[in-house]
A and B are shown apart, each in its own frame.
Chain A
Amino acid sequence: MRLPTRPQGEFSMLRKVYLSVLGLLGASRANADWALNMPRGVTRLSAETYDLHMQIFYWCCAIALVVFGVMIYSLIRHRKSVGAKPATFSHSMKAEVIWTTIPIIILLILAVPSARTVIELEDSRKPDMTVVITAYQWRWHYRYTGQDVEFYSSLARTSGDARRLDSGIDPFTVDNYLLDVDNPLVVPVGSKVRLLLTANDVVHSWWVPELAIKKDAIPGFMNETWFKAETVGTYRGQCAELCGMDHGYMPIVVNVVEPQAYAAWLASKQPAATQSAATN
């Protein structure tokens, strides 16, 4: 371990401290946001996931309000310094039954919608297209089945240069630092995209928060998941399972585009032979 020697590094560290302090004071910055919550996402299931997340969060808040409220009340009122005399009770069957039953009821209320969403997540019927994803140390490979289109997707050059130890490049000057790739996955909006995941070497995990998809890619096994993006846009994610040295450097970019744009993109990716075969 050593301290950075380049002046730029020191400058950016100082700047970071300064900006963090500014941020703490409530100032906001363009390239660093204060996202507090999960994105609602762009699929129906990501929205359902978000709602479940919020629902259970509110339940937790409500329980916290009651339990912490009672505790704080007790901490204020039942202290020796205000002259409290200790009671001697040590059992109450009634209380035990109440605080066993109420959580069970809350859990049942939570279990039903959760189970419903799990079942929907598993319903991969009638996909519009299938992409086979093979994870490598440390990049992704996408293959569009039946389309003769396949390519690797690696960390973008700009990020790749900046990420090195002592690179001298300030990450704040790089667009989508560590979340940009050379060849993004392109899919049409409103299509049910089935993903088949496997890996070349070790276990990886394909995660795009806006799609609410995270699925492990395991060597020798084929995992399946799906999504149906409702909104055109660019969605970014990362490998989520520790996969070795450059685990932090295999981002995922999904471009959700209009169907015509998708068709044009696909055609541009297809080898000439396939294209002419398709038009015939």
Chain B
Amino acid sequence: MSTQETEARQEATAVVQPAGGTLRGVGVSAWFGSRRVLEGVDIDMRAGVVTALIGPSGCGKSTFLRILNRMHELVPIATLAGSVLLDGDDIYGTALPITEVRRRIGMVFQKPNPFPAMTIGDNVMAGLKLTGRKAPNREQLIEESLRRAGLWNEVRNRLNAPAGGLSGGQQQRLCIARSLAVRPDVLLMDEPCSALDPTSTRRIEETIHELKDQVTIVIVTHNMQQAQRVSQHCAFFLAAEDEPGRVVEQGATEHIFGSPEDPRTADYVNGRFG
């Protein structure tokens, strides 16, 4: 059912057909133990569009993002409802192997997590090794991925040094490079710039611009300017006290920031709470 819908929409919107996958969250709810933290989230993350998820701390943005590439289920007490469709296939069904789901939907975590004992170069190549693929040109892929992540100039002379010796911000950019090297269809980024200086942040934003026609990008950010700069679609999450997080409002980014319909959205994007 949804495949036709998706195709129809893609034909309608895309003048130059953007590559990348279309991801749809349908009625997504999530629990940790008996505590419900997300309720009925419906978001379309279309190819060629950068989707920003914004909202105050603890409203379930990371949880939603982790549901999108099956990271959520790694928490022992975590459960979920609803479905997530990648180009029409339910990623929680048997249509796609779980490793394939995660390879096609890459993730950059809130906290940098390179493999510290591995060299910088091996970190970039780790995804290919993990998915059992060979790179035709290792050096070229390493350079390209590191350049896109804005890290190349800093590490070009120490690709064989262990990644554990990088600074926090450099590690985060290495993780971005690592995710890009497997050429995912969708890239989920959970506050990728929260540990970065303005220059590296700028570089990552440029990368997002460059990538957005090849990879579908979903980014969680606490920085309202960043959300406006990089995204075209924006969803505002909010969790009232002792209630699960919900999407209060979503739509075109300029609309969310320019003329939001819900007063809570207006308050949040204008920095009046959260």
A and B pair up: no
